[in-house]
Amino acid sequence: MFREEQHSNAVHRFRIDCTSLCRCGRMNNSKCDIAHKRRRPARIIRCVYVVGFMDLFGVSMIIPLLSHHVKSLGASPTVAGIVGSTYGVLQLFSSTVVGSWSDVVGRRYSLLTCLLLSAFGYGLLGLSTSIALFVLARIPVGLFKHSLSICRALLSDLVSEKERPLVMGHFNAASSVGFILGPVVGGYLTEHEGGFYLSSFACAAIFLLNAGLVWMLPWSETLNHRIDANANSKSKPRKSYDELKNSVQQNCSDKNHVRHTNASAVRSRTNGAWSWRDMSVVQPAWRQLTSVWIRIRMVASSDMWDVFLVRLLMAVSIMLYYSNFSLAMEERFQLKPKVTGYLISYSSMLGALAGCLVGPVTHLYGNNMSALLLHSTALTCTLIFLYATAPNVWQVLLTSTFFAISTTIGRTCITDLELQRGGAQASGTLIGAGQSVTAVGRVLAPLLSGLAQEVSPCGPPSLGVVLGLLAVGLLFVRTPKWDSKTQVKDKSPKQWGENHSK
């Protein structure tokens, strides 16, 4: 008890010293950044990495087995295709809603709900002995399998804008490692009798373990850090200490929709106390729905169509690259499926490792995410073209090497730009909207791939090159406008500080 009081007093004194120095202008930006890094809750960030790893580890145990299992239940190829599209259609409509809901009720409650209902869906999948039960099991997963999006929104809440690409890159790397290892374990379990059902129950158990980990996370760190992060935000003008304190408390209340208005509730949050009742779950359902609708409408009416269009074009382009990869390798170079599998695994491992390169590359670009996105998109488009025109397997191997790196960096860039343009107050809504756009790409890509493949085995990647060029052209036109808006945001705090000093 004494240690906890001593620690809270030390943190409180450190926070007051830092804010007072920043207010009086005696601490430069670099020192503020150092103080901000010291307060970064590294422990909870590492726990979120584990959650992402376990999430994709469990999911990837099931994904390769779904098509085979639904066919074993007696489904025709057409029915199997319709059943397989159930998940994508549900994700299309639920991504933005669940993401916005996480902004309303808080990350903890929404993440726990998604993990528990996903575990229920995968457990029900382990009992699916008919096509109807299989479809029923996919419904809760399709509606609530948004744990990764909420984790990204949580990380966005915890770190500063400069640190966000680095942390997001590490999170993507950890998740990708789980996606690589999962099929190995799933394939091993499938060799036993009732292997699919065993894999489904194992996946459900992993999601239950994830929910337990989320429950035990030190959520008090997130609230304390959120106050400090909002106070040091560059996207808003500097205010006096009292105004800043009030606005930060209001921002925290908006993010978690904590509806306590008495002074004791504010003091408990400032001291780091956190209880389940602090969350806005108790508010009426109609109020939650109204808040969700307001956030979605704000994103829909914002000037972010260009960012989402770039995401859609590149998502479809990348999916076209992978859509007939195995078949194209067999028809063009007579590669055996085993060798093609090795090539895909090699590319996946590079993609996981590339997540660790996002931070250094972002630092090299001076945190200019729009320029980095433009260059990574142009590189991705070039690599798809080289793959479509490759005369031998060695050129395919070379393009696969750099393709994994460029797509990983581009994916992190587009997410960071969405958060920059839309603001951190609706990070869950923005990330969910981005996932909905990607879900649209999942619906369009198989259709476009089938039509392009009627022309040539190189048809899908060739069409991907065209879409990639459209994305590059759009970035050339819109990037100067993004930069001008960013410069205006960066100048406003300085201008306010100069006027305040005068």
Q: List the helix and strand counts (H, then E) for the chain.
A: 21, 0
- pLDDT band per the 50, 70, 90 thresholds, residue 387: very high
**Per residue in 289-324, pLDDT tens?**
676 666 666 766 677 888 889 999 999 999 999 887
> Taking a C-beta distance cutoff of 8 angstroms, is the pair 45, 155 a contact?
yes
Q: Average pLDDT for residues 272-299, to the nearest whole number?
A: 57
Given its phi and psi angles, is residue 274 left (phi above 0), alpha (psi -120 to 50 degrees) or beta?
beta
| pLDDT for position 235 | 43
Q: What is the mean pLDDT of the chain?
A: 76
| pLDDT for position 219 | 73
User: What pTM value is reported for the model?
Assistant: 0.71
| pLDDT for position 269 | 40
Whole-number Å distance between alpha carbons of 32 and 271: 22
Q: Average pLDDT for residues 348-356, to the nearest whole number?
A: 85
Q: Quick check: do 43-284 and 302-502 share a fold?
A: yes
- The DSSP 8-state label assigned to residue 385 in this structure reads H
Residue 36 has pLDDT above 50, yes or no: no
Q: Average pLDDT for residues 399-410, to the nearest whole number?
A: 90
Number of residues in the chain:
502
| pLDDT for position 417 | 86
- Single-letter residue type at 112: L
Mean pLDDT lowest for which of 120-129, 158-167, 464-473? 158-167
332 vs 15: which has the higher pLDDT: 332
- Distance in Å from the first CA to the final CA of the chain: 47
Share of the chain above pLDDT 90, in %: 22
> Taking a C-beta distance cutoff of 8 angstroms, is the pair 444, 316 a contact?
yes
> Taking a C-beta distance cutoff of 8 angstroms, is the pair 99, 240 a contact?
no
Residue 35 has pLDDT above 80, yes or no: no
Query: The domain 43-284 is classified under which CATH number: 3.90.1640.10, 3.30.470.20, 1.20.1250.20, 3.10.20.740?
Result: 1.20.1250.20
Residue 274 has pLDDT above 70, yes or no: no
Residue 383 has pLDDT above 80, yes or no: yes
Show me where the domains of the chain are located: 1-38, 43-284, 302-502
Q: Average pLDDT for residues 220-237, to the nearest whole number?
A: 50
Nearest C-alpha neighbor of 88 from the set 21, 139, 159: 139
Residue 67 has pLDDT above 60, yes or no: yes
Buried-exposed string 220-232: b where 16+ CB fall within 10 A, e elsewhere:
bbbbbbbbbbbbb
Residue 487 has pLDDT above 50, yes or no: yes
> Taking a C-beta distance cutoff of 8 angstroms, is the pair 442, 318 a contact?
no
> Taking a C-beta distance cutoff of 8 angstroms, is the pair 44, 158 a contact?
yes
Distance from the Cα of residue 438 to its chain's centroid:
11
**Per residue in 158-213, pLDDT tens?**
888 888 888 988 998 899 888 888 888 888 888 788 888 999 999 999 999 999 99
Winning range, highest mean pLDDT, from 264-268, 284-288, 442-446: 442-446
Nearest C-alpha neighbor of 328 from the set 466, 455, 465, 467: 455
- The DSSP 8-state label assigned to residue 237 in this structure reads -
Top CATH class, 302-502: mainly alpha
Mean pLDDT lowest for which of 69-78, 270-279, 471-480? 270-279
- pLDDT band per the 50, 70, 90 thresholds, residue 106: confident
